[in-house]
Amino acid sequence: MTEPLPLIPLVEPAVARLAALAPLDAAAKSALAAAVRKWRNVPARRELLIEGREIAEPLLMVKGWAARIRELADGRRQILSFLLPGDVIGLCDHERPLANSTVATITEVGVCTAPKRGISPALDEAYSLSHAFEEAYLIAQITRLGQLNAYERLADLLLELLERLEIAGLASGGTFTLPMTQEMLADALGLTPVHMNRTIQAMRRDNSIILKNRSLTIVDPDLLNRQMGRIPIHVSAMRIVPSPIAASSGHGPDER
Amino acid sequence: MTEPLPLIPLVEPAVARLAALAPLDAAAKSALAAAVRKWRNVPARRELLIEGREIAEPLLMVKGWAARIRELADGRRQILSFLLPGDVIGLCDHERPLANSTVATITEVGVCTAPKRGISPALDEAYSLSHAFEEAYLIAQITRLGQLNAYERLADLLLELLERLEIAGLASGGTFTLPMTQEMLADALGLTPVHMNRTIQAMRRDNSIILKNRSLTIVDPDLLNRQMGRIPIHVSAMRIVPSPIAASSGHGPDER
DNA sequence: CGCCAGCTTGAATCTACTCAAATCTTGTGG
DNA sequence: CCACAAGATTTGAGTAGATTCAAGCTGGCG
């Protein structure tokens, strides 16, 4: 087992993530670098977007965690999806869009104005892919809530989060920082906080996860994926990869 | 009570629906008319798209019902959303897209090749809005599955379907044809068929719905929407409507 | 030191599931 | 036109997974 080095990102995680979706050209890289340089800080528990309100400008998550939320009239709350560095917020392709959900920060986050479309074809493609991933995550969420039991829901979500953080270079060796409270996890997974807690305990008992402070380790992600019958969400599931041989897209020996 | 006339649509429902999303210009109308004229028939229980496979061409639903489905390794099945006339299938904005879910016909359906983007700005806008609606329906589905109990889930889904069919001119007076079996409804709502049945009975007992043969009537849609704390999904929730006075978009006296 | 949010545990209850069988529909062939 | 099969709906009884309510614990922080 390798020594878990403190992650000092060589590239900005947000840029790393977009680059993993579509190879970025020089124009895209410089536009992103310029945008990211002007990032601003938003404290935890603030709303970046409010459902039904106009979207001021599309944002790019630079650091921290946020969530898309829907609140019901009676106070019930559903977390629709989580937003991580490299995710784009509020990028719509129709005129004068309104937010279809509230986006709230979970931790302190860094955001910047997302470079406009049309600067670089590669960037546009990365945005499109990012959007395709977002839809894939919504679909995964529907399937979790509709078909999986509490244990499976939690396992599936944690595996997804690990996967996404790895793409941005923010997790390795199955370990990452999980900043949400159990109550937020419960709101995401359609469970009560009490049952969420019991489910976490069950995963701990099985030695599937180690969760202490805000640090989560999935002990054996590949095994857990297999046990859950879960297929990781790849770029290669979104589009036909340009050239199967020349495309040494990343790190792992990933078949599909 | 008015005699339920057989609906002879003055316009093609598919075109009516797209026109309701964005006012169509002459180019859009003629392109759609030409496309729809070449519609083809697909029997019930066929797959229009298969998850992970390449999307041959984007399709426009002309008539009938279809569903986006995700199947798990162990046979569990989740219906992600329903596809109705006027809905577009497989329109992605990235290169060489793969289907992110299987699309299967529920009834016999009519489909045609969707006119390409770029023919008319109005049509592009309608496509974009259509896509925004699709996302809104996914979000609604997540909220249903995550936060609502069986009764609420069913009520919410039926109200959504009524709303969508009304836009296409395929329902009026709260009545429409519901072609799915109770098992399919169960797969959509994350319930077992047995419990789906009991839930339907409960709605019948309350006189909230009348369901016989395949004909569903929601007795008082407005009341039910209010009871459920449900807000209908409008175009006006997607975008800032161009001009609030000149925009006599449709039929009903709809406030927001 | 004491407060407060978040986490943990217990016990009772309830919603939805499972298994099983009966009944109703619909389409098909004789 | 009836008999039959296959699919779909309905009902019953027992069970399991998740909720509710309530209380106790823990750790970080002013």
pLDDT per position as a tens digit, B200-240: 999 999 999 999 989 999 999 999 999 999 999 999 999 88
B244 Cα distance to chain centroid = 26
CB A146 to CB B229 under 8 A?
A: no
The yes-or-no verdict on residue A2 having pLDDT over 80 is no
Give the gap in angstroms from C-alpha B3 to the nearest C-alpha of chain A. 37
Interface check for B202 against chain A (CB to CB < 8 A): the answer is no
Interface check for B38 against chain A (CB to CB < 8 A): the answer is no
pLDDT for B16 equals 97
Q: Is the pTM of this model over 0.85?
A: yes
Note the pLDDT tens digit of each residue in A211-249. 999 999 999 999 999 999 999 999 999 988 765 555 444
Buried b (16+ CB within 10 A) or exposed e, B93-130: bbeebbbbbbbbbbbebbbbbbbeeebbebbbbbbbbb
Does residue A201 approach strand C to less than 7 Å at its CB?
yes
The mean pLDDT of A97-105, rounded to a whole number, is 97
CA dist., res. A177 & res. A212, Å (int): 10
Residues 142-181 of A with CB under 7 A from strand C: 181
Give helix A121-147 / helix B121-147 axis angle, nearest 10°.
30
Does residue A107 approach strand C to less than 7 Å at its CB?
no
CA dist., res. B177 & res. B179, Å (int): 6
Residue-averaged pLDDT of chain B: 92
The yes-or-no verdict on residue B3 having pLDDT over 60 is no
pLDDT for B90 equals 96
- The pLDDT confidence band at residue A56, using thresholds 50, 70 and 90, is very high
The yes-or-no verdict on residue A251 having pLDDT over 80 is no
Residue listed under structure tokens 């109005």? B122
H-assigned helices in chain A: 13-21, 26-37, 121-147, 150-167, 182-189, 193-205, 221-228
How far is the first Cα of chain A from the last one, in angstroms, to the nearest whole number?
26
The mean pLDDT of B128-135, rounded to a whole number, is 98
Which one of B136, B188, B229 has the shortest CB-CB distance to A74?
B229
The mean pLDDT of B75-88, rounded to a whole number, is 98
CA dist., res. B46 & res. A86, Å (int): 38
Does residue A45 approach strand C to less than 7 Å at its CB?
no
Question: Considering only CA atoms, which of B169, B211, B148 is closest in space to residue B10?
Answer: B169
What would the two tokens of residue B31 be? 């392109």
**Integer Rg of chain B from CA:** 18
Note the pLDDT tens digit of each residue in B96-107. 999 999 999 999
